[in-house]
Amino acid sequence: MKYGYFDDKNKEYVVERPDTPASWTNYLGDTNYGAIITNNAGGYSFYKSAAQGRFTRLRFNSVPMDQAGRYLYFHDKDSNDFWSASWQPVGKSLEQFKTECRHGTAYTKISSEYKGLASEVTYFVPRGKAYEAWMVKLTNKGKVTRNLRAFPFVEYACNWNAGDDLGNLQYTQYIAKMSVADGIIDHGSNINMPEMPEDFQQKDQQRHTFFAMVGAEVSGYDTDRDVFIGRYNGYGNPEVVQKGECAGSLAEGGNPCGVLQTDICLQPGESVEFAIVMGIGSAQKEGAEVKEKYTDLSILKNELEELKNYWHSRLEVMQVETPDADINSMLNVWSPYNCQITYAWSRAASLVYAGVRDGLGYRDSVQDMLGVMHSVPEEAGERLELLITGQASTGGAMPVVKPFAHKPGEEKEPDANEYRSDDCLWLFNAIPEYVNETGNFDFYLKELPYADKGKDTVLGHLRRAIEFNLERSGAHGIPCGLAADWNDCLVLGYEGESVFVAFQLRYALAKYSEVAEKLGLTKEVEWAEQELRILDKSLEEHCWDEDRYVRAFSDKGFRFGAKENEEGNIFMNPQVWAVISGHANREKAEKAMNVVHDDLYTDYGIMLCAPPFEKSNFDIVRAVLFNPGMKENAGIFNHTQGWGVMAESMLGNGNRAYKYYKSYLPAAYNDLAEVREIEPYVYAQSTHSIFSKRFGSSRLPWLSGTATWAYYAATRYLLGIRPEIDGLTVDPCIPDSWEGFKVVRNFRGAVYNISVSNPNRVMKGIACLKINGEIIEGNKLPVGEEGKEYQVEVIMG
């Protein structure tokens, strides 16, 4: 079943049916002022942090899941009928209520028509501002005069701390105090306390937000939710909207809201425009300033265009044209946009994450950077430095880095039971990618502090990361899993060993050796190569099991992922990383990847492991908590899917790499929305596998490592456009059915127009490479001059 379509020209996804299987969301704003909005105008807004700065309320896991929201209600004075500009919350019959939602790049537009009254509401956050705007246009498409009242509504959180607001009612129900100044609503919290802007995490300080209307006259207001909604009513039938008149309530304690009333008379064919602005600051100061600024609504319209141009320029750093329309829609708009949003908010703000997970999860955020290096290299460099300073002097990492509170060199060293064995090994993916994208090789020599004490060069930080795992190895010479090894459901501790992390460590040693050699550090090269040889020997002697690599060893020597096991006898991670790390020879690589295909591949992606765990020891295998076929218990964990694409591409298996990529590509399931359920334009954390009765159903959209690795695998390995320190490598691995493809890639200020043809229908290999008509040897494009365009012809063969 289909609920919408991709509008590639406007870089939008259009939701044609509002009754989607789940709330389909979009993100507004930036890391200063952020917001989530759904196709029915649900969602919430927050300042700096969804956990500690959430000033509008979301009822987590409610029915429906996106309430409350940014609602605009209408009351017809002549008929006493009422409805909302979005289908929900009033929910008029879809036979009479026609609507579409256009989710774009950091803006959402909801257009509806009900009984001859058309409404358009466009929601966005002007760039760099600490407020949002709802631009409204109403048109009378009927033949009679319409006398209306409009009521924009938002429900406030009492305390900006999301946990306290919903979980500590004996406190939060007594701290709100609402007021109205010159038609602008002021939402005050803890107003008897001082303001402490220098201490954002102090939740008990005085805070204010404003709610104003521009371009229309305010004729009434309400600020008490219980008065506005009425007893035993809901968002779908507020008492004030039914009656058609605000009560002028001023909340003092209880549950505050913001409601403004305006009267509208529209002749047939007539339109009217106005806007709502809501944001941080008092009504008397910031609210009044913002209202004055937008007396001319054209300013707001121009800011919307500026926002679109800003986002579109980010996306245009790389554009593709392939024979697959689904891939084009994703790679040109939604995949890089998904990466940008995940990079911005890590795992902190969605309808699924409650918002109590604050800051940047270390391992997640380091990986997230791989999807944005090409589009925002300077910004990514700053984030990378921040995360490097989240590494402790032990070589391990802080579990979470909070940008608004982080103090490098002064943080407490993490407890031993907080360390995850994979955390800092992701730096070996992110740092070389940054250096290759920017050409800034001196970055390796930059000195940065550790989180707790001391400082070192970036190269020194990398060595310390390697030493952290070498110093914590087990009986088989394999790194210990510690609290977790990427898989949070595999608790191996300080004696159990992770084969997956061993392959990560091998990758790290190879990268370190490569960098040290370029820096002329002979002793460092010798050290890394020696450790790599020792690790390879351990992997060969202890981890190969006929046609697969085992996943881990328990502290008692039990082999997880071994062929003889009743449960979990094959895991995806060690097979694909044996290839990615460069450890497996061709024969073993093909055997291992064939087992992945035969035992783990499904129509909706590759399962993390199989068969599922139902009897295993919970102390180690926490996946047994989940139902079979869900998440880490033999579910399709989408974070890993890109690794499968990468491994098969490295082996030259373009048909299989393409099949894997399409199996979890959101756009490929646009016509199966009733199965996948979540948004068809963004990636999900996990999908239920064949061991579940809900095979194909996906969960947790937007904020997941899937976004980054999917984009990275498709652009760097399937299409094969990879940045290197000395140029741009062209190394595609495509299905043999493709005649070719095109890529426009901006690299260090030069633009490469790359045209790839595949006359012999091969999957991999370059027969000829031309730049501006000149044949060049190999498959690497030299670094071009900034501001110049280069025409690149590639013939595969």
Query: Which residues are known catalytic residues?
Result: 488
Q: Which residues pair with 153 in a beta bridge?
A: 71, 259
Q: Which long-range contacts (CB under 8 A, 24 or more apart) does 56-64 make?
A: 56/154, 56/155, 56/156, 56/157, 57/155, 57/156, 57/157, 57/165, 57/166, 58/351, 59/166, 60/166, 60/354, 60/355, 64/23, 64/40, 64/88
Alpha helices in 173-284 (DSSP H): 225-229, 239-243
Going 517 to 521 to 524 to 526, the CA torsion angle's sign is positive
* Three-state secondary structure call for residue 342: helix
Is there a contact between 481 and 494 (Cβ–Cβ < 8 Å)? Answer: no
Residues sharing a CB contact under 8 Å with residue 29, sequence separation 6 or more, in sequence order: 35, 45, 106, 125, 132
Within 13 Å of residue 95, how many CA atoms lie on the same side as its CB? 1
* Three-state secondary structure call for residue 276: strand
Neighbours of 553 (CB within 10 A): 26
Is there a contact between 397 and 424 (Cβ–Cβ < 8 Å)? Answer: yes
Exposure class string for 630-660: b at 16+ Cβ within 10 A, else e: bbbbbbbbbbbbbbbbbbbbbbebbebbbbb
- Closest to 39 (Cα-Cα) out of 28, 25, 27, 29: 25
Q: What ranges make up the beta strands (E) of 23-106? A: 25-29, 33-38, 43-47, 71-76, 82-84, 97-103
Strands 271-280 and 256-266: unpaired
* Tokens 């000149």, located at residue: 774
Distance, CA of 190 to CA of 159 (rounded, Å): 8
Q: What is the DSSP letter of 670?
A: G
Q: Which residues pair with 35 in a beta bridge?
A: 28, 45
